[in-house]
Structure 1
Amino acid sequence: MNVTPNAVTALIERASAEGFASWYSSVVRLDGCTSPVRLVGTSTLFDATTGEALYSFSSEERGGPLLTGCGNRRASVCPTCAALYRADTYQLIRVGLVGGKGAASSSVGGHPRVFATLTAPGFGAVHTRREHGGRVLPCRPRRTAERCPHGAPLGCSARHHGDDKRLGEPLCPRCYDYAGAVLWQAHAGRFWHRFALELRREIARRVGCARTDLARRLRLSYAKVAEYQRRGLVHFHAVIRLDGPDGPDSPPPTWASTRLLADAVRAAAGRVRLVAPGSEVIGPRMLRFGRQIDVRPIAEFDTGERLTSAAVAAYIAKYATKGAEAAGAVDTRIRHAAEFAVLPVRAHTLRMIGTCWWLGALPDFESLGLRRWAHMLGYGGHFSTKSRRYSTTLTALRTARAEHRAEQQRAALGLADRPTVTVGRWAFAGRGYAPDEALIAAGIRAAKREVRA
């Protein structure tokens, strides 16, 4: 950030004023949040038995609005709040694999569970990086110099390095089905729901029972996260687990094995279909998953397997804080077509955004909200979701953290042994830091970058 003389002067004046320590700790507590929420109001701690007011705090005592974290999950917007969201997601996924947090017993670690990756289908040939045995292979080798109807080569003999800007770009943009790609994005969340239903049908089919009867013998739980590929399409990473009929604390039937689950996932992913309706301008699309379907068993405790519960939880949590910027898009909503001229994106991404804008104006696609989600390349679903009985919830984890902080506050006030209740009246007063607060926050972020480096 640019350090202005006024900001330095304001910080010096603040340091010499009464209550500096309280003000400083309230800024440091945010750990460098990039866009905090400013609140004005009061909080009073009462004795829950007698109703006596024990402690009161107001924003006026701080010398300005109280700051609280923005809570944004995207690392490109706020690395600090995203790190907290990533840690919570890690715990949520791990509890579903090893138990704990009051959500499941440790016996859940012995249930059949797999880590599945389901990709989007192809909508045209794109530049890709292929490796085998530690060697980088040609992108799309062809023996003949064939060309598409638009004159572009059908092959590519380049051995792309990891940061090659051509990765994910179509070999021929005019041959690429941008409308199909955008409709896949718009229906991806619905498509996952259809897959989950088909997976239950497939398991019932394999064990020879009706799906309604299967629900009385088995429960399927999952947690998933969406990740953007370089070509701008999402694919799903998911932990899928089989439990007994009462959830994670009940053992599944003896015939429910990891191999049965893995085979059923592959079969269901290959079978599920969804028709995306068309219009007078473009025809309907038959949507399916891509051919690259990866299903791996997750190791139990101390088995020496490479794909451990901790590794899976860390992998999923990493992608829970990423957005379309991983595909070269932007992280803010596009409100006017005039913004296209200044978007800092590559040509392929700009074409996908433009297709969202074009289709979003057609009455047949109005319900998809494509213009609203143009900056997400058409994907408007949640990035991380779970079934109801998979494990604990983010709300439960945040509540436990808030209660822990409240206990620390009571202990600091010497009220640890008294039953208390907090009553607060707070109102929104804006976002961001004052100039002197911004200096402190910038220093914290710089220190964290040095530690990471």
Structure 2
Amino acid sequence: MAIHEPHDPHGGAPLCDECYDWEGAVVWNWWAPELWRRTVMALRRAIAAKLDVPEESLGESASLQYAKVAEFQTRGLVHFHALFRLDGPSGPGSPSPLDEAELAETFRRVINGVEYFAPAIDAEDTSRLIQWGTQIDIRPVRGAKGVDYQTDSLHAEQVAGYLAKYATKDVAELDHGQLRGPHLRQLEQTCKELATRGMAAGEDSPYLLLFKRNRTLGFRGHFSTKSRRYSITLGALRRARHRFQLLRADLERRGKPLDPTGLEERLLADEESSTLIVGAWAFQGSGWTRSGDRALALAAAARSREYAQWRAEQTRDAITQRKDRR
């Protein structure tokens, strides 16, 4: 048995290249964000049922918030690490209507039942069942420090470091085209082949934009996301930074020091400064103003379609030849 070093490019590679489902791996990365979306919806439905309230009235009893990071495993497949918080009806800080045991049991039941049938790439392909695997680790988070990492509970500082670690893990392997390892390059090539087949399948194919995600091996989601009420919004932070820059420039211009008293409240105030409108746009019409421009655009579109069809035929021929050689 061979033992690979941590940075060995062969780490994570399948034991049998010809037996491995390369297409299934790309399809998983492509549809993982959709599976996550359905999981969050199912969790909210399950919590509403647990509290015996209608789903549309859940906000009157509880609020489920989360922060999530996506991690690329060495084998090139993405999975998620998430921190969930169940607030009471008054928002952050209000007591949760469910204790940690009830919430963990609800999570396990929902996660094991969520599934999604990924559409086929083209007429020669079949749909695939997408669902979470068996490696599901659910732990409560408590405020006390000094909890051992291997126990069933974590404290807030551990979770922050945990999420930061997996948000940056293996980024070097996927950044700026530095795909380390032959299996990662094969996944990228499979992305290109599936993208070509998706384009040839027609304009309604859900894989039309797959070619834009070659470097992320088909993953089209964000590597770090959160629900709106989990913490302060990014928009509020941008407004606070903008206000601080204006305040500092004004104080420097007047030669006065910065008074930190109440600074945070002023920077994060909800009031928006008034906007001066100096112009307005009005819709005048759509289309080409000159017939020559229209003819050039139509000719370019026709050449693009012909090229896409030619690429699709070349890819199908290459796949057929590869299958024949096997």
TM-score (norm 2): 0.68
Contact 2:112 2:132 in 1 (8 A): yes
State which of 386, 392, 396 in structure 1 corresponds to 2:226.
Answer: 386
- 1:314 matched residue in structure 2: 161
1:170 aligns with: 14
- 3-state SS, counterpart of residue 162 of structure 1: coil
**Would the aligned equivalents of 1:221 and 1:241 in 2 still touch at CA under 8 Å?**
yes
Q: 1:197 to 1:414 in 2, by over 3 A?
A: same
Pick aligned residue for 1:265 from 107, 129, 139: 107
Pick from 133, 140, 146 the counterpart of residue 297 of structure 1.
140
CA offset digits 1:109-158 (Å, max 9, x no partner): xxxxxxxxxxxxxxxxxxxxxxxxxxxxxxxxxxxxxxxxxxxxxxxx33
Greater helix proportion: 2
Q: Which residue of 2 aligns with 1:402?
A: 242
- For 1:241-390, what aligned pairs fall within 5 Å after superposition? 241-253=85-97, 256-278=98-120, 279-302=122-145, 304=147, 306=149, 307-321=154-168, 325-326=171-172, 328-331=173-176, 345-363=180-198, 364=201, 365-390=205-230
* CA 1:220–1:344: 2 relative to 1, 3 Å: closer
Distance in 1 between residues matched to 2:145 and 2:171, nearest whole Å: 37
Task: Assess if the C-alpha contact under 8 Å between 1:194 and 1:272 holds in 2.
Answer: yes
Percent identity between the two aligned chains: 39
Distance 1:297 1:249, change over 3 A: closer
Output aligned runs, 1:121-136, within 5 Å.
none
Aligned residues: 251
1:229 aligns with 2:73: yes
| 8 A Cα contact 2:10 2:181, kept in partner | no
The residue aligned with 1:22 is none
What does residue 293 of structure 2 align with?
none
In structure 2, distance between residues paired with 1:302 and 1:350: 43
2:9–2:180: 8 Å Cα contact kept in structure 1? no
2:68, 2:225 within 8 Å by CA — same for their partners in 1?
A: yes
Query: Residue 55 of structure 2 corresponds to which residue in structure 1?
Result: 211
Cα distance between partner residues in 1 of 2:240 and 2:60: 33
Match of 1:116 in 2: none
Aligned-pair Cα RMSD in Å = 2.9
Higher relative contact order (CA 8 A, sep 6+): 1
Taking a change above 3 Å as real, the CA distance of residues 206 and 368 of structure 1, as seen in their structure-2 partners, is farther
Aligned-partner Cα distance in 1 for 2:175–2:192: 15
Give the whole-Å Cα distance in 2 for the aligned partners of 1:301 and 1:163: 36
Change in CA separation of 1:266 and 1:272 when aligned onto 2, cut-off 3 Å:
same
CA separation in 2, counterparts of 1:399 and 1:245? Answer: 27
- Tell whether the 8 Å contact from 1:182 to 1:355 is kept in structure 2 after alignment: yes
Give the Cα–Cα distance (whole angstroms) in 2 for the partners of residues 367 and 159 of structure 1.
38
The structure richer in strand per residue is 1
Work out whether residues 43 and 110 of structure 2, in 8 Å CA contact, stay in contact via their aligned partners in 1.
yes
Cα deviation for residue 289 of structure 1 reads 1.0
Distance in 2 (CA, whole Å) between partners of 1:252 and 1:415 is 50
Within 5 A, what are the aligned runs for 1:144-159? 157-159=1-3
Deviation at 1:388, TM superposition (A): 1.6
Aligned equivalents of 1:177 and 1:276: distance in 2?
A: 15
CA distance change for structure 1 residues 376 and 361 in 2, over 3 Å: closer, same or farther?
same
Deviation at 1:362? 2.1
AA partner of residue 186 (structure 2): R
Relative distance call for 1:313 and 1:286 in structure 2 (3 A) is: same
Where structure 1 has 5 or more consecutive residues not aligned to the other structure, the ranges are 1-156, 333-342, 424-453
In the alignment, which residue of structure 1 is the partner of 2:253?
A: 413
8 Å contact from structure 2 (residues 65, 85) kept in 1: yes
C-alpha spacing 1:298/1:289, structure 2 compared with 1 (3 Å)? same
Cα deviation, residue 205, structure 1: 4.1
Shift of 1:391: 0.9
For 1:79-228, list aligned pairs within 5 A: 157-228=1-72
